[in-house]
Each structure stands twice: as C-alpha cells, then as structure tokens.
Amino acid sequence: MRPAIVPTVTLSNGARTVVLQGMQHVGAEGFYQAVVYDLEKALSEGYLLAYEGVSNSDPQADAWFRMTMSHGKDLGDSYRELGKACGLSYQIDYFGPLLADAKDHPDRHVTIDVNTRALMLEYNRLLQTDVAFAAAMRKREEEQKADTEDAPNFITDFIARQQSDGPSSQSALVGSLCRGVMTIMLRRSSAGSSDAMDPLLLDFRNRHLVTRLLEDRRQKIYVTYGAGHVPGVIELLQRHPGWKIESVKWMRTIEAPENLQGEL
C-alpha cells in the first residue's frame, strides 16, 4: 500500500518567499513533531506563520456552517476521537508551543481564511450560478449525511463495529485496519479525487488565501493548510509574474518518513 504523504512546497518570485506546508487533521505523532520543529525554525528565520481556520462571524452564519459542514457536531472532538481509536494524533494537540508564541508575539502569527458569513454567501451564490454544484447539494441534502470522504464518523463507526465484535485484545488489529482505511482515503484525496464541495471549500478559500498572500508585503510567509489546498494555491500563485517553485519535499503522515516521491 502506498503511504499517505503531504508536500512542503517553497515558492518565490525573487523578492518574496512563500512556503506551503500541507496538513491533515489526524496523523502520526512524528509527523506533527516534524512540522512544529519546521515552524519554530521558520520563526527563528523571520517568517510570518499563517494558518487555516474558518472564523465565526454572526449567529446565523455560524449555525449554518455547523449544520452544513458537520451536522451540528464538533469536528475537533470527532477528529480527536478518530486519532485515539486509530493510534494516531490530532494536529491541534501539537501546536501548544506555537500558541504560546502567538500570545507573546501576535505579530508573527496570522490566520488567513474566510469567515462563516463569507462562506455562506459563496455557497448561496454557487447554488444560483453553478448547475453541477446545485445538483450535488440537492443530492447531498436528500441523503442527509455528511460526505464520507471528509467526515471522521465514517471511520469511527467502522472502528466501533469492529470492537463490538471482539475482545479488547483486538485493538492493535483494529488500529492497523483503521490506519489502512485512512491511508487509502488520503491517497485518493492527494491523487486529485474531486468532491462536490470543492468549489466552496477548496476553490473559494484558495482564491482568498492567494489574494491575502499577495497583499501582505512581508518577505517570508510560512503557510500551514490542508494538503488538498496546495495544488490549487500553487496554480493561482504561478499566474502572477515571477512566482515559481523552488523546492518540494514530501512527508509521510501515517508512519515515519523515509525518502518519498510524490506528485503535485
């Protein structure tokens, strides 16, 4: 089975440098430790650290976001439960040192993402202007369930069924099965498998991210964002004069990294 991997891509236009670190919600402890090490090193080299994270805006839009994206569930709790069941870790649990630095030096950290109001307005715009998106959303509503490609409940339900069928001594086997299923799903995602929500959750947010990166005049920015965003952000940046890829490295997110080959 091919491993689940994410890229670290360095781009520059000569005067400015942007590093894109692909992330995933749940992964191996060693992966997150390596990412945090790289981020702390970037801070010491004068980088601005930029993070993903849809922010709240107003009660109506916030409620829409919770119901549309997670059917009212706390995705953070779900991902943490998923990590525990699979013998993996939840990414936020490793960002403590960076959160502490952000409190002491807020000028070195920024969240670059849309808020729930902007996301809801774009969702409604797509319903009116994108026939394929509108049809996919109608189907999604009819099915009355979250998309299994991005929802942790798919795997946690699988784990619960496996555990109910045998003694606790099977936990190692269940963890292996879980990591295998996750690896397959993550490989499909990194291979470019499309999702009905991509025009909203990927394309719209990618445009916002690139606009902000180009508007910010700081010379060095280190971005941590979901790995699925990286190819689109690269493509958008390279539409602007001078921007080109300087280096790419790959990191395995489920097991310890080795010499890896990937494709953007």
Q: What is the pLDDT of residues 137-193, one digit of tens each?
A: 999 888 755 544 444 555 555 555 555 555 554 555 555 556 555 555 555 555 555
The predicted structure's pLDDT at residue 254: 82
Residue 57 CA to residue 74 CA, distance in Å, equals: 17
The label of the residue with tokens 């310890």 reads 256
Q: Is residue 239 part of a domain?
A: yes
| Angle, CA 229 vertex, CA 228 and CA 234 arms, to 5° | 125
Structure tokens at 129: 């202007």
> What is the strand order of the sheet 109-111 is part of?
109-111, 48-51, 220-226, 17-23, 5-12, 244-252
pTM of the entire structure?
0.82
Largest CA distance in the chain: 60
Residue 189 CA to residue 228 CA, distance in Å, equals: 7
3-state secondary structure of 129: helix
Q: Is residue 141 part of a domain?
A: yes
Task: List the end-to-end C-alpha distance of the chain, in Å, as a whole number.
Answer: 19
User: Kind of pairing, strands 17-23 and 5-12?
Assistant: antiparallel
The predicted structure's pLDDT at residue 16: 98
The predicted structure's pLDDT at residue 255: 66
Q: Is residue 264 part of a domain?
A: no
The predicted structure's pLDDT at residue 153: 54
The predicted structure's pLDDT at residue 164: 57
Q: Is residue 263 part of a domain?
A: no
The predicted structure's pLDDT at residue 149: 46
The predicted structure's pLDDT at residue 103: 95
The whole-number average pLDDT for the span 88-103 is: 90
Q: Would the pLDDT of 238 be above 70?
A: yes
Q: Is residue 39 part of a domain?
A: yes
Q: Is residue 64 part of a domain?
A: yes
Could you tell me the pLDDT band of residue 92, with boundaries at 50, 70 and 90? confident
The whole-number average pLDDT for the span 55-60 is: 96
More confident residue, 173 or 93: 93
Could you tell me the pLDDT band of residue 43, with boundaries at 50, 70 and 90? very high
Domain containing 166 equals: 5-252
Closest CA to 33 of 75, 85, 101, 93: 93
User: Kind of pairing, strands 220-226 and 48-51?
Assistant: parallel
Taking each continuous run of H as one helix and of E as one strand, the counts in the chain are 11, 8
User: Kind of pairing, strands 5-12 and 244-252?
Assistant: antiparallel
- Residues across the chain: 264
Q: Is residue 260 part of a domain?
A: no
Q: Is residue 163 part of a domain?
A: yes
Q: How many domains does the chain have?
A: 1
Could you tell me the pLDDT band of residue 19, with boundaries at 50, 70 and 90? very high
